[in-house]
Structure 1
Amino acid sequence: MPIDAAKAVAAEPRSTEISWDHKDIQLYHLGIGAGSFQGKPSPATDPDELRYTLESKLHVLPSFATVAGAGMGVVGGISAPGLDIDLASVLHGGQTVELHRPIPVKGRAVSTSRVAAVYDKGKAAILVLRTEAADDEGPLWTSDAQIFVRGEGGFGGDRGPSPRIELPSREPDRTVERSVREDQALLYRLSGDWNPLHADPEFAKLAGFDRPILHGLCSYGMTLKAVVDTLLDGDVTRVRSYSTRFAGVVFPGETLRIRMWQQGGRVQVAVTAVERDEAPVLADTIVEHS
């Protein structure tokens, strides 16, 4: 059996040292569209955008945790003992990042990854790959990637949770649109996700798409930036956690419509692709904040 759930969960965690500095932060922010928001007269030099792009004013969007160390925690998790997986059958189903304190602009940390759970969905398995990062001052973040593995279910395991969050019946408190540049996937992949699905048209066709698709985690970062800039006064330190389910693909050149509902200490979000009749992109999406 390609997946031995008990062996995978019982395996020793894997630890590696990671580091980053302002160049990694700036590259990530540019990859999720910082400095190019067309709703501003001069987006590249707008003071609100310079917080994401200029080293002397830099702060760190918490979703950077998903690419810190080139995302090696997820890579290590997929290769854990008990897992023998064809990467062509793997989809990123969801993502959660919990912040223990703000991420510094320059840092060095130990990233520890493990398989936190394996769920049996019948025709597929879901792996929960947990990565915890800590520096000399203590924990920084905990990141959970939910990985959907087609054809690997049916091993008799726990089906796990199936959370679905109903959207509020009222109109959103805010709705914004963010354009995805034609070259955005090419820039975002420089932060560590080199999957040719996001760059090579021939590879994309083999995967069933007529052209390359945007990284789900790029949409994830673009959405958090929109929430921070729109409802959290541009203050990245207010974010406590951020979770989503990847509900559909995005193609470079499309427009994201991001609807937000403020509910006390959290923002509920729904993201759709405007040009494809509001096709779902991110669902069950919550930003917890102070």
Structure 2
Amino acid sequence: MPINLDEAIGAELDPVEFSWSSSDIQLYHLGLGAGADPMDKRELRYLTDGTPQVLPTFGNVAQSFHMTEPPAVKFPGIDIELSRVLHASEAVTVPGPIPPAGTGIAVTRFTEIWDKGKAAVIWSETEVKDPDGTLLWTQKRSIFARGEGGFGGDRGPSGSSAAPERAPDLELSLPTSPQQALLYRMCGDRNPLHSDPDFAAAAGFPRPILHGLCTYGMTCKALVDALLDGDVSGCASYGARMAGVVFPGETLRVSVWKNSGDDRAGYSAVVTAPERDDAVALAGIEFVPV
């Protein structure tokens, strides 16, 4: 059904209460490839029993972590077939480290919907607080819905995948495993696009693709490890735009540039797939230290 802007824009969903445990954190980090070297004490900080440190990107998945069914894209004024939907962007801001176990109350509202003609881009913002009302993190997300444009809305700005016109200050190698999507889907994203070859083919892909949020989380971890000596408490915010697909088993390249200005200017980055002529997977990455 066509998107109803009057009903969708500004719509606020009912609060959702959810909880997570240290085992959830460990599984999430394993899904991102943590522990590849099980003798590396820095790696093991992500997997410690009871008190693992928590990547801020867990905030992007915590609410849906225990889902066992494919997600439905049905909200006020919005009703879209799942196979038409791709992640467009994600961002998270944390006032302090996310606790390794806890309870959150999430309130989501829809902020913008752009009409791209053949597609729609739908933006939402979620605030998560603990039961005492303390803000734990703020999440921003956009999804790209193929075939859902043409409803007469504002086209919105055009994104760019262009990297800065100078050599990167740092380059990182980011390997993915052939079974990575099958492991990462245990973190609550059961979209068959990432596990079912027939479903992926119907959506126009030669084989299942890696979750955009997996590439997103892996990149955050790589930046934390390289720029903050593996200390997640040094990251204040992180965000990226999903600019292309990743196929499990590929080794990606993360190119990093230090932004001009003071230390709070942070870093920009782009993730590419060298095996596919440096096709861009993540663009517009912004990593801001505390």
Q: Same fold (TM over 0.5)?
A: yes
Partner-residue secondary structure (3-state), 2:150? coil
Unpaired runs of 5+ residues, structure 1, are 37-42
Identical positions, percent: 50
Correspondence 1:243 to 2:236: no
Correspondence 1:123 to 2:118: yes
- Alignment partner of 2:192 out of 190, 196, 203: 196
Partner-residue secondary structure (3-state), 1:243? strand
Q: Tell me: CA distance 1:239–1:165, structure 2 relative to 1, closer, same or farther (3 Å).
A: farther
Q: Tell me: CA distance 1:76–1:131, structure 2 relative to 1, closer, same or farther (3 Å).
A: farther
Greater share of helix: 1
- Alignment partner of 2:38 out of 40, 44, 56: 44
Partner of 1:86: 81
The aligned amino acid for 1:176 is L
Kindly indicate whether the alpha-carbon contact (under 8 Å) linking 2:71 and 2:190 is maintained by their aligned counterparts in 1.
no
The runs of at least 4 aligned residues of structure 1 exceeding 3 Å deviation read: 75-78, 163-166
Q: In structure 2, how many angstroms separate the alpha carbons of the residues matched to 1:148 and 1:54? A: 36
Structure 1 position 277, deviation (Å): 1.8
- Alignment partner of 1:226 out of 202, 213, 222: 222
Partner of 1:132: 127
Unpaired runs of 5+ residues, structure 2, are none
Instruction: Give 1:51-90 correspondences, 5 Å limit.
Output: 51-55=45-49, 58-70=52-64, 78-90=73-85
Partner of 1:29: 29
Superposed CA RMSD in Å reads 2.0
Partner of 2:176: 180
Query: What's the CA shift string for 1:106-143, capped at 9, x where partnerless?
Result: 11010111212111222221110222110125111111
Partner-residue secondary structure (3-state), 2:78? coil
Partner-residue secondary structure (3-state), 1:227? helix
Kindly indicate whether the alpha-carbon contact (under 8 Å) linking 1:76 and 1:113 is maintained by their aligned counterparts in 2.
no
Q: Tell me: CA distance 1:186–1:141, structure 2 relative to 1, closer, same or farther (3 Å).
A: same
Partner-residue secondary structure (3-state), 2:233? helix
Q: In structure 2, how many angstroms separate the alpha carbons of the residues matched to 1:100 and 1:162? A: 30
Partner of 1:273: 273
Query: What's the CA shift string for 1:79-111, capped at 9, x where partnerless?
Result: 211112122211111111121221000110101
Q: In structure 2, how many angstroms separate the alpha carbons of the residues matched to 1:79 and 1:72? A: 19
Q: In structure 2, how many angstroms separate the alpha carbons of the residues matched to 1:207 and 1:13? A: 29
Q: Tell me: CA distance 1:165–1:288, structure 2 relative to 1, closer, same or farther (3 Å).
A: farther
Q: In structure 2, how many angstroms separate the alpha carbons of the residues matched to 1:76 and 1:240? A: 29
Q: Which has the higher mean CA deviation after the structures are superposed, 51-60 or 235-244?
A: 51-60
Q: Which has the higher mean CA deviation after the structures are superposed, 272-281 or 22-31?
A: 272-281
TM-score, normalised relative to structure 2: 0.91
Q: Tell me: CA distance 1:76–1:134, structure 2 relative to 1, closer, same or farther (3 Å).
A: farther
Q: Tell me: CA distance 1:72–1:188, structure 2 relative to 1, closer, same or farther (3 Å).
A: closer
Q: In structure 1, how many angstroms separate the alpha carbons of the residues matched to 2:164 and 2:235? A: 21
